[in-house]
Every structure is written in structure tokens, then in C-alpha cells.
Copies of this chain bind each other. A is one copy, B any other.
Amino acid sequence: MSKGVGKQTICEFWGATNLDSVEVTERALRDAVRAGGATLVDVFVHRFAPQGISGIAVIAESHLAVHTWPELGYCAADFFTCGEHVDNDAIVEVLREAYQAQHVDVRHFARGVAPAVQPA
């Protein structure tokens, strides 16, 4: 348990393109799940008016989510994965390429690290 039950990765993609395409986002999510070695449960992509996409892949290992701001060239991605087998860096790379991001900021966090004092 000291390693936690999962890891969360938060990415900021700047200088990005393809940010208003449902097709690009759905394909990117499916490709990222495959590249990361995760198991897809379902994918949902929603396009907002006048622009912007939210895409979520539910995976057996938790989720991938992307939210785009075409007017800023910005895409926020985050994914939460449990299990040692999932390659979060591979997921980042697929998304970076799909959106052709020129600047990427990535942060990783351990999730589900039990508190020192267990609840009664």
C-alpha cells in the first residue's frame, strides 16, 4: 500500500492544434489507451458550442480525460491509472502527437497512499 493504488498524470499542452475535432479526440483517446497498455471500457466525446471538446475514456484502470480550448491552443489532459502495467508516459506521447503540442508540462502524483493513521 505504501506505493498507493494508482498514479495520476496531469498534462498541460500548449501551442496545440486539432483541438476542435471530435474525431481527433476520440481517435487520440483510443490510441492512447492502447499505447499505454490499458483496457478500454468506453469513450465519450462532447463538443461544446461555439468551440471546445471534452473527451473521456473510461478504462479498467480508471480514466483519461482531455479538455480543449482551441482559442488558446491549450489542451488539459489528466489520467488516473492503477496497476504497474500502464505506461503513462506512452499516453502522454500519443496525446502530444495527436494535438501537435509544442510545449508540454507533465506532473505525476501517487494516489491512494493510505494515511498514517487508519480510520477506526
B-binding residues in A (CB < 8 A): 5-6, 8, 10, 12, 14-15, 41-42, 44, 46, 48, 54, 56, 58, 60, 62-63, 65, 67, 69, 72-74, 76, 78, 80, 82, 102-103, 105, 107, 109, 111-115, 117-120
**Min CB distance, A86 to chain B, in Å?**
14
Q: Is the CB of A111 within 8 A of B76?
A: yes
**5 shortest interchain CB distances as A-B pairs:** A15-B119, A102-B119, A62-B67, A103-B119, A76-B111
> Assuming A14-B114, A14-B119, A74-B5, is B54 touching A58 (CB within 8 A)?
yes
Q: Is the CB of A80 within 8 A of B78?
A: yes
What is the CA–CA distance of A10 and B112 in the complex, to the nearest angstrom?
11
Interchain Cβ contacts under 8 Å between A and B, 28 examples: A5-B74, A5-B76, A6-B67, A6-B76, A8-B10, A10-B109, A12-B111, A12-B113, A14-B114, A14-B119, A41-B54, A42-B46, A44-B58, A48-B60, A54-B58, A54-B62, A54-B63, A56-B56, A62-B67, A65-B65, A67-B80, A67-B82, A69-B112, A72-B114, A74-B112, A76-B112, A102-B119, A105-B115
> Assuming A63-B56, A80-B65, is B119 touching A12 (CB within 8 A)?
no
